[in-house]
Amino acid sequence: MAEQLELPLPVSAVIPAPEIRNSRRLRGKTAYLSGLAAEESVVRLYNARGMGLMAKRWRGSCAEIDLILKDGAVVVFVEVKKSSSFDAALLSLGRAQRRRIALAALEYLGRTGLGQLTDIRFDLAMVNDIGAVAILENAFGEDE
């Protein structure tokens, strides 16, 4: 018969060592700061194209929209993806996330009084590991 291993503490009471917790915290902070830098790069590119920033990291009830810009009469909702490559960034935007962003965009239009008859566009802004930016206009639609 197999011998049962007895642990000094229940598994649920085991706490990661401080260096592991600090390592996770550092990775999280690095990812957060990297994301902020990516968003700033994207805003600069859109501004150079003559578009004005309306909101940053707007939080709706079902999703956060990274950037909301105005391109003439069109409101542009932008999801920013920072990844090792443009391909990886493109693949990281799944259908469920697109759907949540589209719902949040409609919520934004309602809350700000712009209304659902406003022309809108959903862009995907991708930033690779060397900081280059690529924008895919009309990356998805509101019917996601």
Distance separating alpha carbons of residues 125 and 137, to the nearest angstrom: 8
Question: pTM of the predicted model, to two decimals?
Answer: 0.80
Residue 45's pLDDT is 97
- At the topology level, CATH places domain 15-140 in Trna Endonuclease; Chain: A, domain 1 (3.40.1350)
pLDDT in tens, 24-77: 777 777 778 878 889 999 999 999 999 999 999 999 999 999 999 999 999 999
Distance separating alpha carbons of residues 98 and 132, to the nearest angstrom: 23
How crowded is the C-beta side of 95, counted as CA atoms within 13 Å?
2
Distance separating alpha carbons of residues 70 and 112, to the nearest angstrom: 14
Residue 106's pLDDT is 95
pLDDT in tens, 134-144: 999 999 997 76
Residue 2's pLDDT is 56
pLDDT in tens, 93-112: 999 999 999 999 999 999 99
| Per-domain residue ranges of the chain | 15-140
